[in-house]
Amino acid sequence: MRDTTVSIALERYALRNGLKRGAQKDIAERLGVTRQTVRNWCVSNSVSLDYVEEFARITGAKASDLNKLTRRVCEG
């Protein structure tokens, strides 16, 4: 997986929680989505607006960095 803001947030989450594997699955379960949904967020480098705040809270990332629309707004 390429380095994106979303994938880096997941990697940091995994390190903080001692996960060698399964960070996508763990986040998916916590958010009530499929692992494939989390993978798609990594590939697109954009978390759905419905989940971006909770994803940010769980991973410690900035919500404004995790969604294409919010990045555009913040970049002005």
The three-class DSSP label of residue 29 is: helix
pLDDT attached to residue 39: 94
Inter-residue contact 61 to 9 (CB < 8 Å): yes
pLDDT attached to residue 68: 67
pLDDT digit of tens for each residue in the chain (76 aa)? Answer: 455 689 899 999 999 999 888 899 999 999 999 999 999 999 998 999 899 999 999 999 888 888 766 555 545 5
3 state SS for 38-76: HHHHHHHCCCCCCCHHHHHHHHCCCHHHCCHHHHHHHHC
pTM of the complete model? 0.82
* Spatial distance between the Cα atoms of 47 and 68, rounded to a whole number of angstroms: 8
pLDDT attached to residue 75: 53
The one-letter code for the residue type at 34 is T
pLDDT attached to residue 30: 96
